[in-house]
Amino acid sequence: MEVKMVKPKTEEEIELMRENAILVSKTLAEVGKVVAPGVTTLELNRVAETFIRDNGAIPSFLGYDGFPAALCISVNDTVVHGFPSDYVLKEGDIVSVDCGTLYKGYNGDSAYTFPVGEVDAETRRLLDVTKESLYRGIAAAVDGNRVGDIGHAVQSYAESFGFSVVRELEGHGIGKRMHENPGVPNYGRQGHGAKLTDGMTICIEPMINAGTRGVYLAENGWEVHTADRRNSAHFELTVVVRKGRAQQLSTFEYIENNVKF
Ligand code: MG
Ligand code: MG
């Protein structure tokens, strides 16, 4: 199989992307502060768009292939690409918030799934396992490995809990464009796929379903739902492939230090 070569970023580019990734991380934390029963998903979108613009950046999802909002907000059985709406969050929901910004010519892209109030134990486990599967994937994002090593790490961890991996969507390279090569699937075989080299910037973003892995596309052509209507979680970080250990550009520390769950 021919694998397209991907050019690593320069250290100057990585520094710009780090600034951007921090802005995305802080935006997600601002959204997390207002996630609660009784709040509409449009309100979450408004908070994010205001924060992004106040910080001199552009919400890059808005208008991307015609997407209508600054955030993708995906509740419960919506896997990704949900539209902010007048839906009112209720106790026990989970809400995945995916945020992209354009800043100084580069893109940032990260996502976090928030519990709304108290969620049941199985849902809490889905969130914890999905996030940990992302960290397992990041641990595999080292120079000399291949994208299949990342996918294998995510998949083997998530499936060991009886959860399933969405196959129709995947992570990606990122830079001047939001989606660059290589694609970074959340499943795969060790030692297979595009080679990872020092300085490559990629988004790893497991989408993990509580039930079966099947999904379908809503009539609006965007929103992806689980086929069995059970919950799905989504966590995404931007990292730099390095020798020995990947470097995280975005972080959940603003969320997890500011928001009590
Ligand atoms: Mg994203
Ligand atoms: Mg992404």
Phi, psi (rounded to 5 degrees) for 244? 85, -50
- Coil, helix or strand for 4? coil
pLDDT tens digit string along 95-120?
999 999 999 999 999 999 999 999 99
Tens-digit pLDDT profile for residues 195-227:
999 999 999 999 999 999 999 999 999 999 999
Q: What is the predicted pLDDT for the residue at 261?
A: 40
Residue (of 232, 231, 249) closest to 240 by Cα position: 249
Contact 204, 251 (CB under 8 A): no
13-43 per-position pLDDT tens digit: 999 999 999 999 999 999 999 999 999 999 9
Q: How far is the CA of 98 from the centre of ligand 1 (A)?
A: 5
Return the pLDDT at 6.
Answer: 80
Distance 190 CA to ligand 2 centre (A): 22
Rg (CA), the chain: 17
pLDDT, position 7: 87
For ligand 2, the distance from its centroid to the CA atom of residue 230, given in whole angstroms, is 22
Q: How far is the CA of 38 from the centre of ligand 2 (A)?
A: 28
Chain CA centroid to CA 100, Å: 10
How far apart are the CA of 28 and the centre of ligand 2, in A? 14
Q: Does domain 11-258 have CATH number 2.60.120.650?
A: no
Residue 239 alpha carbon to ligand 1 centre in Å: 13
Residue 107 Cα to ligand 1 midpoint, Å, equals 10
Q: Which residue has the tokens 């951007």?
A: 20
CA of 111 to the centre of ligand 1 (A): 5
Percent of the chain exceeding pLDDT 90 equals 95
CA 203 to ligand 1 centroid distance, Å? 8
C-alpha of 137 from chain center: 12
92 Cα–ligand 1 center, Å: 23
pTM value is: 0.96
pLDDT (tens digit per residue) in 219-231: 999 999 999 999 9
User: Closest-lying ligand to the alpha carbon of 180?
Assistant: 2
> Are 194 and 34 within 8 A, CB to CB?
no
Q: What's the gap in Å between 123 CA and the centre of ligand 2?
A: 23
Confidence label for 3 from pLDDT (cuts 50, 70 and 90): low
Does 64 have pLDDT greater than 90?
yes
Give distance in angstroms: CA of 260 to centre of ligand 1. 23
Partnered with residue 165 across adjacent β-strands are 208
